[in-house]
Amino acid sequence: METRVVFHIDFDYFYAQCEETRSPELKSKPVCVCVFSDRGGNSGAIATANYTARKYGVKSGIPISFAKKRLEERKDAVFLPVDFDFYSEISEKAMEIMKESADIFEYVGRDEAYLDVTKRVDGNFEKGFHLAQQIKNSIRDKIKLSCSIGISPNKLISKIASDFQKPDGLTLVSPDKAEVFLEQLKIRAIPGIGKKTEARFLEMNLETIQDLKNLDIFTLNKEFGRKTGTYIYNAVRGIDNEPVKEREASIQYSKISTLKKDSKDYQFLSENIRELCKEVHDVVKKNNRMFKSIGIHFVQSDLSSKSKSRMLKSPTSSIEELQKTADILLKEALENQTTTIRRLGVKVSELSEIQGQSDITSYF
């Protein structure tokens, strides 16, 4: 089997960095990009913070009020509302630059992608390193953004490597260095291992990837189930055969809003869902699309999330179908619901273009 050369490209503090390109004077200040809720004031959460803000303990997901408290001494701290349209525009330009250098390009999200460049660099990691440097330079020259790139024989190690020297990192892990590179790292470096799993390993006195290699597959499977156990067993050994798959930005349309009050009352939530469906449907109509998947999303009062979705038998663009399905999902989601709901969202995905009037539901 040929050795692959795989890049994982990840933009550093992407939303905040986009804001810095628009207003360069922000670069020296702590910048927090916020999802403000409709309730005004400091209600909402941090989407991304630049590295200056991170030094004060500000990170994505924390409430804006916490972030403001942590940055009290910095009178120059800036709190900006998210501007997803602007970030998507910049992301598209960056992805175009990456695509030009890839044999296979896999879009992951607005701020990350995988590239298989094996043919482009004749399977040579040194050439791969130079190509990665060229991509970084090109992105910096054309759109003023820095990114971090990990280079290795597979997606797993490349993802770990791109995080290794952030921000503005470039880390090459050739096949002969993979074992040494991984063994020094903390267990949390493995993608998909969260706080709970890490805590369990710490109880077992295991802290690094090297420590984790001492666990046999049976112990891992018993502890975490076969699927996760096998994944961890392979990951600590740097084994990952998943190919880089051609994937463009998979677009979905969604709307989410903060409710006037926290609630778990079906009637109240149902009225809000109907309104959100109308807003999503307007976007669907404007873009001449049909959808096959419908989903709803809750952000609960304790800031945890819950979502449900359903695949339809065939694509449609009917608002009645959208509202009816969203309402069914709402009823299902509210069974055994104990926590009140703070934000509510509706999304449609699995989009396709309306071809003529092939489908009865495409008459609006």
Cα–Cα distance for residue pair 181/5, rounded to 1 Å = 17
Beta bridge partners of 259: none
Structure tokens at 270: 């149902």
Concerning whether 112 is annotated as a catalytic residue, the answer is: yes
Provide the token pair at 174: 């050739």
The b-or-e profile of 172-203 (16+ CB within 10 A means b, else e) is bbbeeebeebbeebebebbeebeeebbeebee
Token reading at 65: 């009020």
Q: Which of 112, 242, 275, 353 is catalytic?
A: 112
| Dist. CA 218–CA 198, nearest whole Å | 18
Task: Tell me whether strands 170-172 and 147-152 are parallel, antiparallel or unpaired.
Answer: parallel
- CA 266 to centroid of chain Cα atoms: 30
Smallest CA-to-CA distance from 184 within 155, 213, 219, 217 is with: 213
User: Cα Rg for the chain, rounded, in angstroms?
Assistant: 23
CB atoms within 10 A of CB 111: 21
Q: Is 111 annotated as a binding residue?
A: yes
**Element (DSSP H or E) covering residue 328:** helix 319-334
**Cα 42 from Cα 79, distance rounded (Å):** 10
Cα–Cα distance between 90 and 84 in angstroms, integer? 10
φ, ψ dihedrals at 19, nearest 5°: -65, -35
**Nearest-angstrom CA–CA distance, 114 and 191:** 14
Q: Which two tokens stand for residue 275?
A: 């309104």
* Identity of residue 136: K
Q: 185 by DSSP, 3-state: which?
A: coil
Burial (CB count <10 Å: 0-12, 13-18, 19+), residue 360: exposed
Binding residues for Mg(2+): 10, 111
List residues with catalytic annotation: 112
